[in-house]
């Protein structure tokens, strides 16, 4: 939905990785992260309003053309593996909103440190390891 506007930046860790990798500016990444956190907070406040204050515990929860399905499978596997321990949140902004609404930031740091380290490392190595080893297709005018 937002791909044409922001490249689909919904996860602060991915945004951080793109900034570290030089695909977006640090300033752009900063503003995207602020917007992501504000969106998460607004969504959680709306959820609290709609459910009349019955917001659930935030720690509980439910490549190429196949990239979306691959990412979905990876996210699903991470949620299945980490869900019983942390809710499986790999998105710092997604964890920020419930912490704001609940007024409890006591364990929120872990939702930022782990994903940002992973995103930063991915941003550093992706261009050199994956893109650098890829030979582009020859440019041709013939589309037949």
Q: Mean pLDDT in runs of 10 for the chain (144 residues)?
A: 64 89 90 91 88 60 58 71 66 86 87 88 81 62 59
Q: How many angstroms separate the CA atoms of 41 and 97, rounded?
A: 4
Residue 90 CB contacts under 8 Å (≥ 6 apart), including other chains: 11, 13, 75, 78, 114, 115, 118
Q: What is the pLDDT of residue 60?
A: 46
Q: What is the pLDDT of residue 2?
A: 56
């Amino acid at each position: 939905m937002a791909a044409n506007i922001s490249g689909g930046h919904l996860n602060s860790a991915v945004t951080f990785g793109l900034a570290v990798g030089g695909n977006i500016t640090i300033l752009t990444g900063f503003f995207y992260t602020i917007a992501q956190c504000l969106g998460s907070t607004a969504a959680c406040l709306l959820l609290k309003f709609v459910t009349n204050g019955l917001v659930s515990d935030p720690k509980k929860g439910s490549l190429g053309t196949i990239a979306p399905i691959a990412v979905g499978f990876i996210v699903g596997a991470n949620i299945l593996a980490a869900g019983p321990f942390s809710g499986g949140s790999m998105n710092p902004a997604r964890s920020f909103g419930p912490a704001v609404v609940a007024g409890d930031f006591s364990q929120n740091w872990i939702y930022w440190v782990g994903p940002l380290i992973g995103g930063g490392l991915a941003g550093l190595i992706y261009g050199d390891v994956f893109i650098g080893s890829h030979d582009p297709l020859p440019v041709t005018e013939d589309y037949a």
